[in-house]
Every structure is written in structure tokens, then in C-alpha cells.
Amino acid sequence: MASDSLKIVANGYVITCDPGNRGGRYNLLIRDGRILEISDSLDLFTSLHPYATVFDATGKLIIPGFVNAHMHSESVLLRELTDDLHFGLWKRNIHLSDSIAMLNDEANHEDMLSVALAAYFGHLKAGTTLVGEYGPAVKEKGFVALLQAIERSDVKGVVALQNWDQVGYVRDLGPNRPRCMVSLGAEEEYTVYSFENAVRVAKELDIPIVAHVGEQRESVEAVKRNFQRDILSVLSGFMALSPATILVHCNHLSKQEIQMMERLSLAPVVCARSAMCKQTGYPSLRHLTGRNIRLCVGTDWGTVDVLQELKFLDQLPLLLPNIRRASPLELLRMATINGAHALGQASETGSIETGKRADLAFFQMGDVRLPVHSPHATAQELAGFLIRYLGSGDITDVMIDGEFYVTNSQIVTMLEEDIVEGFRKTREKFFPEARGRLPATEDLTGDRALQARPKVIPFITQQRPAPAVTEGFEEGFQNKEKTPKPVQEEEGAANLEPPVSPNSKADVTNKKPELPKNVKRVFGEDEDF
């Protein structure tokens, strides 16, 4: 009689991402969700464990499940509003601000559930088994919906706490709370009180701090104006910097700051492809690579595809001079074991090692469109094959804790049609097809046809948004009271941009699109931080 808890994954090409960086044809023995042994002899396993269930992985590449160390789940809904829009202009996007307000409304917590389900089952099909979640500043019902979606997908999440509702909910769960981290919020909105509150919560709950650093040059300059020091020195001065601190983006950091990262054994998370789309500048890869720094990868905004991020990082040095090109194996480690270290989960996942959780992604290697691989390929060769030739569409199976949650490229724990349908309904609610459009059946000719054409906004290149309007999108802890209130009563205040009259006459050189008169111009109203 076969034992359900004992499995053998046989004859696969394996990249372990362990300290030895092993690669080649291996067999994996799995018991109770953990890797019991790794061997190149299948006969040994089958003779010792004749009742184990054997899964034939011939012709498949097996890697540790990807670790997406920084992701905003709400972006799977909002990404169409931010495409090709400079990050500094997001706060002036009326549809975006209205959609954020809708998503943060507790009455719409079911929409948060459908969005998060789409995001996390998307992670699952893309081979990701661990996510650093930097979700929206929703109140308790929305936060519970986010946690329910993560649990329903079985993907492991480490969730950033964005406001006091979220902190209070997690605190009340006691030892049963999910894996969490505490957010410092946007750099340009750092205050003494925000640091004190975040550090206090991190110590109380024994969780790490996550900080956006150097995402925009304007944010870096704002920190220097407000504190007369660079961002890492500020974090260190407020006791918010330790080896457990998660630093995200790192686009505009000095060489001295990066030396501090190396000295403190920090693991920065870079989101290069997202930075390109946001037009915020690339990570400081010239200084980060080639050092004793454990680089990690996050998709940040708009996509759940970690492999796509690795392909972008692989090609970026071909476009930008003086950037060291990381080897395929280095890139894969950035998206597996390094990310697990950053999220504090390296003892459990991130590599294929004895004693660790069996969190695995399986790729089909035998497609006729792919080059023929060597039967004796090394880890470096296999990683090169993965990054240069495979895509997330080649993933056939995903295992978490020794159980398959994707088989034959299909989710097995929930109907994919239900996930897509739930997300479609939420999208139609947030973005009605009729918004701003004339009926598709109406014949437009002459002047009416000209009026119906979309206004073309010039691509902003040389002119950057003024610092006053380049505040980051992500919000975090704030408390602008001079004396802190009790935790259960504390609330931050969003740093709101002054409303601008849509009828005001602006200089044409500002290249600002005209907006309808009935559009709200204030971003972040009524948000709880």
C-alpha cells in the first residue's frame, strides 16, 4: 500500500540553489512535506521505500519555487491605469485615486478578495511559492480578505502591515498570526514619529521592518532635506536598520550607502523591470553587483512573473554600460534562496536541501522549439537554459510543502474559471467599459469623429515632475501628532496634494492633460495610515 506522505520525484534535472550549487539528474525523496534525501540513484530510493508514490520527472527541470520578495497585489487590478505613466504623476491620475479609494472602502472587501485571489493564484501558476506582500492600506475587512486569499492559494506570504487596523488585527491573533513585517511607508513622508511607531511595533511583534529606499531621486533629496543625512544613516539612527531589515528598490543610493549594506549583511530587493515602467531609474546595479551583497528580486507592480524579471536583468547589461552581467545561476539564486533570506524564511524554503520544505517548480524541457540540452548539464548550464529559453508558460507543476497545487499546467485546488470570473466582475465594477467612451455602435463622422479621438499626451523625458508632486504611491505608518496616542487610537494622516482647479490656466510647457471639470483632484482622501 502506497504511503501518501512518502513521495519520490524521479529522474528530473535539478538545480538545488544550495551552498554547493548542485545541478544535474537527481531524485528527491519527500516525506511529510520536507525533502528527506537527494540522490542520483533511483534504485536506492525504490528499494528502501517500495511503497512510496513515484512521480516521473523525466524531461523536466526542477528548481526551488520562486521567491517574489516585493509585490503589490492590488497592481493586478490597477496596472492598466499606470502603464507608461511616470511614477511621480500617479497621484494626479484621477481614475487611479478613485480606484484606490474604492478598494480601501471596507464595503468593497469582497473586491479585495477577488483581486488577491487573482494575484496569488497567478503567483502559483508562475512558479512562485513565497511572496513579500506590500498590499494596500485597507482596513480590517480588506486586510482579512487579503490574508484569506493568500491562505486559499497556499502560496506562502510575508505581509507588510500598513496601518493601525492591520497591526491591531495581527496583534490580536497572538501566536497564530501570519508572517508579517512592518512598513515604514514613503521616504518623503518619514517623520520622527513614523520611525518610533514602526520600530516599536516591530519589536513588540518580533517582526522585521520593510523600507522603500531610493526609489526616486526626488525622495532621496527629500530625506536629505528633512534629516540632513542619507536614508540609510537615518534608518540606522532610529534603530530601524538591522540584518533583518528589508530594503526595496535601491535605485538612487550612494556608493557609501551600498558599502553600509555590505557591512551590515543586508539583502536589498531590486525591481528593475518595474523601475523601467515607472520611469524612476534603474537599481544601482553598478555598485550592488560584484560585492558581498545578497541581491533579491521583486516584481513590484503589475506582474507576478518572476522569471520575466530575471530575463530582464539578464539583458539589462547589454543595454546599459558598466553593469556587470550576472551569471544565470546568480540570477536564479536572487529569485530563490536570496529572497528567502530577505524574508526571513531561508531555513524553511528557497533551496532544495535535506530538511527544507519541498517547495518546487517544474518546467517542461522537451519542446521542439527549445535547443537540445546536454544530458550531463551542470547547474550553470541548466540555469542558462532556464533564463534564456524557458518561460513561465513552460511550468507544468508546482509543489508546496510536498503537495502538488499545479499539475499539467492546471490549478488543482480551485477552478481557474471561478478566479477569472470573480476578477472580471471586480474589474468591470472598477472600470466600467462605458467610462469616457461613446457607444461602440454609433457611427462617428466629421467633427464628432475628431472630438472622439483620444488626446495624445507627449511622452515626458527631459522634464521631470516637480518635487512637490513626486510623492511615492505607497503609503505607510504616519503619526503627525506631537504626542503619540495609544496604539488602538493612533492614525496617520496622508500627505495630501493641494487640489488644483481643472479650469486653471497652466503653461503649455508643463505638458499636463486637461481633465473634466467634475473630476476629483485630491489623492489619498480618507485613507487611514
Top-level CATH class of 3-64+353-411?
A: mainly beta
pLDDT reading at 521 higher than 80: no
Q: How many CB atoms lie within 10 A of CB 330?
A: 18
What does the pLDDT average to over 470-492? 40
Other beta carbons within 10 Å of 528: 17
Give phi and psi for 323, each to the nearest 5: -105, 125
State the Cα–Cα distance between residues 29 and 491, nearest whole angstrom.
50
128-133 and 66-71 beta bridge pairing: parallel
Reported as a single tens digit per residue, the pLDDT across 264-321 is: 999 999 999 999 999 998 888 888 887 889 999 999 999 999 999 999 999 998 888 8
Name the more confident of 463 and 33. Answer: 33
Q: Which three cell numbers stand for residue 224?
A: 536629505
Q: How far apart are CA 357 and CA 455, in angstroms?
A: 53
List the Cα angle 121/124/129 in 5-degree steps. Answer: 130
The sheet that has 66-71: what strands, in order across it? 66-71, 128-133, 156-161, 180-183, 209-213, 246-249, 269-270, 296-297
Torsion of CA 519, 524, 526, 527, to 10 degrees: 150
Q: Are 112 and 159 in contact (CB under 8 A)?
A: no
Residue 9's H or E segment, with its range, is strand 3-15
Q: What angle do CA 278, 280, 284 make, to 5 degrees?
A: 125
* pLDDT computed for residue 157 by the predictor: 97
Burial of 254 (0-12, 13-18, 19+ CB in 10 A): middle
The letter for the amino acid at 316 is L
CA distances to 56, 169, 378, 519 from 456, rounded to whole Å, are 55, 46, 51, 19
Residues 313-368: pLDDT tens digits? 999 988 888 888 999 999 999 999 999 999 999 999 999 999 999 999 999 998 77
**Average pLDDT score, the chain:** 84
